[in-house]
Amino acid sequence: MEPAVNREKPRISLSTLVLVSLGVGIVFGFVLNVFFPTIVPLLDTYILAPTGKVFLRLIQFVVIPLVFSSLVLGLTRVRDATLVGRFTLKLMTIYLLTSALGVVLGMSTALIMQPGSSVKSLPFTEMAMIQQNQSILDWLISLIPVNPMEALSTGNLIQTIFSAALVGVGIQLAGDKANSFVSLIESIYEISEKILSVILYIAPLGVFALVSSVIATQGFELVANLLFYVLGLFIATSIMIALYAILLWAIQAKPIHFFRSFAPSLSLGFGTASSNAALPIVLQDAQTYGIRDDIAGFAVPLGTAIKRDGSAILQSFNALFIAQIFHVPITSNLILTIALCALLVSFSTPGVPGSALITMSTVLSTAGLPLEGVAIVAGVDRLTDGYKTVLNIVGNGSTAILLNRWEPHPSEVVEPESTQLEGIVGE
C-alpha cells in the first residue's frame, strides 16, 4: 500500500484576493448605480462607506508604530552614522530627478493631448471649502517635531520619520546602554507585524467596499465627459511606470521579479488609493524582493512620506488642463511656474485618498489659474487616485532597489581586508 500523500490546497495570494474583490466591487457598484439608484444613498451611508473607512483606520492604526520601529531598527543596523547622511543625500537626489521627470511627463501629455479643449458644459461639483496650504518654507520647518510623542499620536508620518532618525542616532551614540530600548523597539515591530497580518484578513472586504462606494455614487457618466482627462492621466502614469521598469532592467534588477514581489502592495494601493495604508505591505514586499533590511527600513518609509510621482504628474497635468478649459494663454512663464510649484507641492502631498485635491489649490493659485477648476476634476479623482498610488509604490520600491545597488553591503567592504590579513598570518 502506498503511503498517503499530504496534499495541501493551494492558497490564494493576498494580491489575487484584493484584485478579485476590486473587480467585484466595480461590477457591484455599477449595478447599483444603473439599476438601483434609489437605494444607493442608504446603502453607501450605512454599509459601504463605513466599512471602507473602518478598514482604512485599521491600516492606519498599525502604520505609525510599524514605520517608527522599522526605521529605528534600520538605523541601528547602520553602525556608521555617516551612512545615514549618505543614504539621505542619495535618496533626495533620486527623488528630485524622478519627480521632475514626472512633472515634465504630466505637462507634456497635457500639451500634446489637449484634454481641456474637448470639455463642454461640465457641471461643477459641490466641494467642501478648500484649506489653504502652508508655504513651502513653513512646511520645511514643520518637518521638525516639537514633541516626538505628539508626532506619533497625531499620525504625522514625516515627523515620525524625523523622530525615528534622531532616536536612531541617539541609540548609536548611547551604545550598549540602549540595548534594552532596542529590545523594546524590536518587540513593537514584531507586535505591529502580527497585528497587520490579522488586519489583512479583511483587506478584500475593505477594498470591495471602497471601490463599490465610489462607482455606486459617481457612476461612469462624469468619466465619459472627462474621458480625455482620465485617459491622459492613465497614459502619463503608465509611461512613468514603464520608465521605472526600464530602469530596473538597465541595472539588472529583474523588473518581472519586482512586480511579482510587490504585487500585494500594488493591489492594495490601487484599491485603497493610499500610500500610507500600503506602507506596511511595501516593507514586507521589499524583504520578499531581497532589499537589505537597513536600506528597506530607511528608504521605504522616507519615500512613502515625501516621494509622490503620481502627485507630480497630477499637479502639472491638472494645471494645464484647467488652463485649457478656461482658455488661459499657455506661456513659457506659466509653464515654468506650474513646473516649479508642482514639483515642490508633490513632496508635501499626504499619502491619503483625495489629498491631491487639497494641494492642487496651491499650484492653481500660484499660477494664477481659477480655483474652480478643482471642482471639475473632483468627481473623477477617486477613480484615478488608485492608479497614481500604484505609481507612487513602484517609484518608492524602485528607488530603494537603486539605493540597494548603489550602496555596497558592509560585508563586501570588510571581508576582503580580513581575508588578506588571514592569508598573511597563515604564511
Q: What is the pLDDT of residues 372-406, one digit of tens each?
A: 777 677 667 777 888 888 999 999 999 999 998 88
The x, y and z cell numbers of residue 78, run together, are 547602520
417 — pLDDT class (breaks 50, 70, 90)? very low
The region of weakest confidence among 178-192, 333-347, 368-382 is 368-382
CB-based burial of residue 366 (10 Å sphere; 0-12 exposed, 13-18 middle, 19+ buried)?
middle
Q: What is the pLDDT of residues 56-114, one digit of tens each?
A: 788 778 878 877 887 787 777 665 556 677 887 888 889 999 999 999 999 999 999 98
Buried b or exposed e, range 249-285, using 16+ CB within 10 angstroms: eeeebebeebbebbbbbbbbbbbbbbbbbbbbbbbbb
CB atoms within 10 A of CB 202: 15
Report the mean per-residue pLDDT for the chain.
79
User: In the prediction, which pLDDT does 247 show?
Assistant: 93
- Which of 50-59, 253-262, 348-357 is predicted most confidently? 253-262
More reliable by pLDDT, 170 or 197: 170
User: In the prediction, which pLDDT does 114 show?
Assistant: 87
**CB of 158 within 8 A of CB of 71?**
no
Distance CA 152, CA 66 (A): 11
User: In the prediction, which pLDDT does 128 show?
Assistant: 38
DSSP class per residue in 252-313? T--HHHHHHHTHHHHHHHHHH--HHHHHHHHHHHHHHHT--HHHHHHHHHHHHHH--HHHHH
User: In the prediction, which pLDDT does 299 show?
Assistant: 86
The residue written with cell numbers 476634476 in the block is: 377
Mean pLDDT for the stretch of residues 348-373: 72
Residue 419, pLDDT > 60, answer no
The region of weakest confidence among 141-145, 276-280, 367-371 is 141-145
Distance CA 38, CA 31 (A): 12
Q: Report CA torsion sign: 91, 97, 98, 103.
A: positive
First to last CA, the chain: 62
Distance CA 207, CA 51 (A): 9
CB atoms within 10 A of CB 288: 15
The residue written with cell numbers 494645471 in the block is: 319
Domains of the chain (ranges plus CATH)? 14-408 (1.10.3860.10)
Distance CA 394, CA 398 (A): 6
What proportion of the chain, given as a percentage, has pLDDT over 70?
78
Q: What is the pLDDT of residues 297-323, one digit of tens each?
A: 888 888 887 788 988 998 899 999 888
Whether the full predicted model's pTM is greater than 0.85, yes or no, is: no
416 — pLDDT class (breaks 50, 70, 90)? very low
User: In the prediction, which pLDDT does 420 show?
Assistant: 41
More reliable by pLDDT, 70 or 181: 181
What proportion of the chain, given as a percentage, has pLDDT over 90?
16
The x, y and z cell numbers of residue 301, run together, are 518609509
Q: What is the pLDDT of residues 125-153, one digit of tens each?
A: 444 334 445 555 665 677 788 888 887 87
234 — pLDDT class (breaks 50, 70, 90)? very high
The region of weakest confidence among 35-44, 112-121, 248-257, 345-354 is 345-354
What is residue 208's three-state secondary structure? Answer: helix
Distance CA 149, CA 321 (A): 42
Helices and strands in the chain: count of H runs, count of E runs: 20, 0
The residue type found at 331 is T
Give the side-chain half-sphere CA count within 13 A for 58.
20
Residue 13, pLDDT > 70, answer no
